[in-house]
Amino acid sequence: MKKALLYILFAIAPISAAKSQDYSGVYKFRYDYVMVEGTIDVVEYDGGKDIVFLPCSQVLEKRQVSDDQIQKVNNKKDCKSGGHEQQRGIQDPFGGTLIDVVGRQRLNCGVSSGFAGFAYVDSGGDWQGFDVSVCRAVAAAVLGDPDAVEFIPTTGKTRFTALASGEIDVLARNTTWTFSRDVDLKFEFVGVNYYDGQGFMVPKALGVSSAKELDGATVCIQTGTTTELNLADFFRSNNISYEPVPIETNAEAQQQYLAGACDVYTTDASGLAATRATFEYPGDHVLLPEIISKEPLGPMVRHGDDEWGDVVRWTLNALISAEELGVTSANVEAMAAGSDNPEVNRLLGNEGDLGELLGLDPNWALRAIAAGGNYGEIFAKNLGSETPIGLARGLNSQWTDGGLLYSPPFR
C-alpha cells in the first residue's frame, strides 16, 4: 500500500483471503507506538482489495482525499454519522495532529531560524539545541525515533502563522506564554521549558551601567516579539526615548549590533547570553542589570486539539519529572525494568496505563528521556555552565532546589 494512502488509511493486511467477510465495527489498532481507534473497512486499491483501518476522527474531513475515498468513509456509519461518539460519549477522540504525525511518520517542529544553544544546525548538518530537544523527545515518544523530525525554521513574525496553518505540529521556539497568544491567537502553551526575562546588551565602550541611562539610544529589536512591546513599556514608564532598529532574525540582530547600527540589543536574557557567546570578543559586551519582563518560554500547539496537547505537555513533564526523580539517559533502561519508586514505575510504563491513556504505548516516556536525557541533562548540554553560553539554572532549577520547575505528578 502506498505511503500516500497510509496518510489517511492504516493498512492491516491484504484481504485476498477475506473478501466476503464483514469487518465493520469499531476497533483499536496499534500503529507503531500509537493506539488509534477506528473502523475496519474494505477498500479497492490498485485493482485489488485491502483491509483498511479508518481512524475515527473528524480530521478525515479536513484531508485531501478522493471522492471515492470520501464515499467509502461516509459509508461507515459507526464513525462518520457520530454514532460511535454518541454511543461512547467521546468527542473526536483523537484530535487530528496525533494521527497526522503518525500517518506521515514525521513530526513537523517549528524552531527558530538558527540561534546558539536553542536551535541551530551543527557542522554535521544536524539540528541541535535546547528547543530542538523538545521536538526530538516528542518524536521519540510518538514515533519511536528522535530523528523523525522535520525542523522548520520560523521567525518572530512567521511562527504563529506556521502553527495556525498546520505547517507545523508544534512550535518549540523560545516563545513567551502571554494572554493574547493563548486566548486571542488560539494557541495552547503546554508548559514552560525556560523561565526567562528581557535584558539589554551594550558594548562596554558605551560606558552605560543601567538601562535607565539609555535615553535616545538606537535599539535593535526583533519584530513580532514580546521584546518589542516590553521595550516600549519600559521606556515610556521611565520617561525616556529610543529609536528602534527593527530586525527579523537573531542573526541579523547580531550583525547589525556588531556593525554599530544600534547601540543596544535587547531580547530574552538567555538569547543575549547565547548571542554574546558567539562573538569573537564576548568580553567587550556587557549585559545590563535590568530584567524588564517575565518571559515564560514554552512549546505550543493549536488550541482545540487536546489529545495532541496532552502528548506534548506530558512529554515535557516527563523530562522535568525524570530529573526530579533521578532518571537519566544513562539509567532509564535499568530503571524501566523496575524501581522502588512507584512514580518512576508509572512514568516508565512499568506500572499503570499512563501511556495507553495518552494513546501511546507504555514506553513513550522512556524513549523521550533516552532521546536526549532529562531536563537537567538537556539544559547542561545546551545552555549550562559548562557550555560557552554558561547559563546558571536560576529560576529553571527544580522546585526542590528553590526553582520554578514543577511537573504535576505522574499518577
In the complex, which residues of this chain contact ligand GSH (CB under 6 A)?
A: 112-115, 155-156, 174-176, 222, 225-227, 249-250, 267-268, 271, 295, 297
Q: Give the separation between CA 133 and CA 108, rounded to whole angstroms.
A: 13
Say which residue the cell 526615548 belongs to.
Answer: 241
Shortest spacing between CB 16 and ligand GSH, in angstroms: 52
Virtual torsion, Cα 199, 205, 214, 241, nearest 10 deg: -110
Between 297 and 358, CB nearer to ligand GSH: 297
Shortest spacing between CB 227 and ligand GSH, in angstroms: 5
Between 226 and 382, CB nearer to ligand GSH: 226
What's the full length of the chain, in residues? Answer: 411
Between 222 and 315, CB nearer to ligand GSH: 222
Shortest spacing between CB 297 and ligand GSH, in angstroms: 6
DSSP state of 242: E
Shortest spacing between CB 222 and ligand GSH, in angstroms: 5
Between 175 and 315, CB nearer to ligand GSH: 175
Shortest spacing between CB 259 and ligand GSH, in angstroms: 17
The three grid cell numbers given for residue 25, joined into one nine-digit string = 465495527
Between 188 and 295, CB nearer to ligand GSH: 295
Element (H, E) at 270: helix 269-277
Residue partners of 227: CB distance under 8 A and separation at least 6: 198, 221, 266, 267, 268
Shortest spacing between CB 173 and ligand GSH, in angstroms: 6
Distance of CA 78 to the CA centre of its chain: 33
DSSP string, 302-370: ETT-HHHHHHHHHHHHHHHHHHHHT--TTTHHHHHT--S-HHHHHHTTSSS-HHHHTTB-TTHHHHHHH
Shortest spacing between CB 268 and ligand GSH, in angstroms: 5
Contact 134, 299 (CB under 8 A): yes
Virtual torsion, Cα 250, 254, 257, 260, nearest 10 deg: -140
Between the alpha carbon of residue 299 and those of residues 34, 71, 161, 355, the distances in Å are: 21, 38, 15, 21
Between 115 and 364, CB nearer to ligand GSH: 115
Q: Give the separation between CA 84 and CA 363, rounded to whole angstroms.
A: 29
Shortest spacing between CB 269 and ligand GSH, in angstroms: 9
Exposure class string for 314-347: b at 16+ Cβ within 10 A, else e: bbbbbbbbbbbbebbeeebeebbeebeeebbbbb
Shortest spacing between CB 231 and ligand GSH, in angstroms: 11
- What spatial distance separates the first Cα and last Cα of the chain, rounded to whole Å? 40
In this structure, the strands spanning 170-171 and 127-128 are unpaired
Residue partners of 68: CB distance under 8 A and separation at least 6: none
Between 247 and 368, CB nearer to ligand GSH: 247
Shortest spacing between CB 252 and ligand GSH, in angstroms: 8
Between 54 and 269, CB nearer to ligand GSH: 269
Between 134 and 327, CB nearer to ligand GSH: 134
Whose CB is nearest to ligand GSH?
Answer: 271
Shortest spacing between CB 149 and ligand GSH, in angstroms: 17
Between 176 and 374, CB nearer to ligand GSH: 176
The three grid cell numbers given for residue 170, joined into one nine-digit string = 508544534
Between 176 and 317, CB nearer to ligand GSH: 176
Contact 275, 254 (CB under 8 A): yes
